[in-house]
Structure 1
Amino acid sequence: MSSKLIQPPSSMAASRVSIPRRLENAKSFVSFINFNGKTLSFSDNSFRLRHMFIGKVTEQSSASSPNEQQQEEEITVSQIKEELYEALKGINRGVFGVKSDKKSEIESLVKLLECRNPTPEPTGELDKIGGCWKLIYSTITVLGSKRTKLGLRDFVSLGDLLQLIDIAQGKTVHVLKFDVRGLNLLDGEFRIVASFKISSKSSVDITYESSTIKPDQLMNIFRKNMDLLLEIFNPEGRFEISFLDEDLQVGRDGKGNVFVLQRTE
């Protein structure tokens, strides 16, 4: 039997990676590396995934037995996505911070998805990337004085964060929608226009071009904090697409921030 070993970043080689509780009963074939460097493998039907020190995850190759392949496939992409959507409920995309246990749960689910990426070379399949995507989770946060300066504690509410990707033009438009209480500006928005070019089989380099805030009343509110808005939301830099299918995209920027986006109209 042959297998493919996925080695996590060195900084996490001896760290605790938790398997979300709702997936603990799933059957799988995995190998664990203990601190003595010994590998312990399990493929028994009764094995339950638990919170352990995980050094390597063994993915079965085409040479695996039918029984082992069935065990591996029982944790499907659809199941992981369902668990991820459930975990993301009530956290407002993580914009204003997430409790550590919830963040660990989401991170574990994201990594499980990345291990099952159906599009390992996404920049070679640009038709899957084009269109409109809605941010449903990010590790970028607006906390403390930044949140206060932007009025996001009291009279300004943050609406949808959208990413419009035009493959033909090589452009992306990032749209942040705002609702300002008392001014009836339900359609206020901050737009960032950028260009992109392919830098590898799984990444693109994004270059900032311009930004605008509409309507004018909203511009008057945010004018003195435009630099702060760009500091937080400017997409410029390298973006690695680590998971992509017909309705979900996961990526990481050059600073290691995670973004989960869902296709929308």
Structure 2
Amino acid sequence: MNEKAKLLETIAGKNRGLLATEMDRVRVLSAIEQLEDHNPNLAPIKTPELLEGDWRLLYTTSKGILGLDRFPMFQLGQIYQCIRVEEAKIYNIAEIVGVPLLEGIVSVAAKFEATSEKRVQVKFERSILGLQRFFGYRSPKKLIKEIETGKKFFPLDFSIENRDQQGWLEISYLDEDLRIGRGNEGSVFVLAKEKKSIGD
């Protein structure tokens, strides 16, 4: 079994990390490190055609993301990180599911700037939180289009201007359909590229 298949098998059934035990996290981190040693793109920032697109989260250790699952009667649905290279924008979109008609969306828009061949500085600019039905939410692609047109969303849509609301993300593995990132808070992220833009 190659390193990529081994990692995918190790994270299977862990529900993005929500069901991972301490031992599971050790095993996953070991599998991640083995795959990183075989990174086919050592300068991922120089391959925008691979970075561009909509990425679905398979696994993370981020407490901020996993903490979205703590609301009673609600569960964390799909989580996407959509990268628009030309605009130097990242959109993090988390779908919250559970009670019918009360499904939610948590989204953060950020600008990024390359600081090396593997790392980008990320500055969070806007946060959006509300019910999918109020937004007319259909897909990440549609939501991003509406954000870019300047549409305001009810009830929570605000600018993030605090200098503390920034960090960095290092891309430690990148191929045609899998990306591994490491964040400034020590979190790891494993994401799969959607075959086509979500919402097409």
Pairing 1:198–2:114 present: yes
The equivalent of 1:90 in structure 2 is 13
Equivalent pair of 2:118/2:171 in contact (CA under 8 Å): yes
Gaps of 5+ in 1: 1-74
Structure 1 residue 116 and structure 2 residue 33: aligned?
no
Alpha-carbon shift at residue 127 of structure 1 (Å): 1.4
Task: Letter of the 1:135 partner, please give it.
Answer: L
Q: Which runs of 4+ in 1 moved over 2 A?
A: 150-154, 183-186, 214-219
Is residue 2:24 matched to residue 1:102?
Answer: yes
Contact 1:97-1:141 within 8 A present in 2 as well? no
Q: Deviations over 1:80-131 (max 9, x none)?
A: 221211111221111x362122111111110011101000001111111010
Larger radius of gyration: 1
Q: CA deviation at 1:132?
A: 0.4
Matched, 1:189 2:112: no
Paired with 1:141 and 1:212, the residues of 2 have a C-alpha distance of 19
Q: CA RMSD in A?
A: 3.0
What letter is aligned with 2:41?
T
Q: From the superposition, tell whether residues 80 and 249 of structure 1 become closer, same or farther in structure 2 (CA, over 3 Å).
A: same
Q: Paired residue for 1:165, among 64, 77, 83?
A: 83
CA drift at 1:217: 8.1
Shift of 1:196: 0.5
Distance in 2 separating the partners of 1:216 and 1:137 = 24
Counterpart in the other structure of 2:126: 210
Query: Using the alignment, how far apart are the partners of 1:236 and 1:109 within structure 2?
Result: 28
Query: Aligned ranges for residues 250-261 of structure 1 at < 5 Å?
Result: 250-261=180-191
For the residues of structure 2 that align with 1:137 and 1:218, how far apart are their CA atoms?
Answer: 29
d(CA) in 2 for partners of 1:204, 1:238 = 6
1:140 matches 2:75: no
Counterpart among 236, 243, 247 of residue 177 in structure 2: 247
- Determine which of 121, 128, 132 is the counterpart of 2:50: 128
The 1:199–1:166 alpha-carbon spacing in structure 2 relative to 1, beyond 3 Å, is: same
1:152 positional shift = 2.6
The 1:155/1:125 distance shift into structure 2, 3 A limit, reads same
Provide TM-score, normalisation by structure 1: 0.58
Q: Secondary structure at the match of 1:111?
A: helix
Residues 31-62 of structure 1, C-alpha deviations (whole Å, 9 max, x = no match): xxxxxxxxxxxxxxxxxxxxxxxxxxxxxxxx
Shift of 1:213: 1.7
Query: Kindly tell me: are residues 129 and 217 of structure 1, through their superposed partners in 2, closer, same or farther at Cα, counting changes over 3 Å?
Result: closer
Q: Secondary structure of the residue that 1:158 maps to in structure 2? A: strand
Distance 1:217 1:184, change over 3 A: closer
Cα distance change on mapping 1:157 and 1:218 into 2, 3 Å:
farther
TM-score between the two structures when normalised by the length of structure 2: 0.75
Given that residues 61 and 188 in structure 2 are in contact (C-alpha distance below 8 angstroms), is that contact kept between their aligned partners in structure 1? Answer: yes
Residue 215 of structure 1 deviates from its aligned partner by: 2.6
Distance in 1, Cα, partners of 2:77 & 2:45: 29
RCO greater where, 1 or 2, for CA within 8 Å and sep 6 or more? 2
1:102 aligns to what SS in structure 2? helix
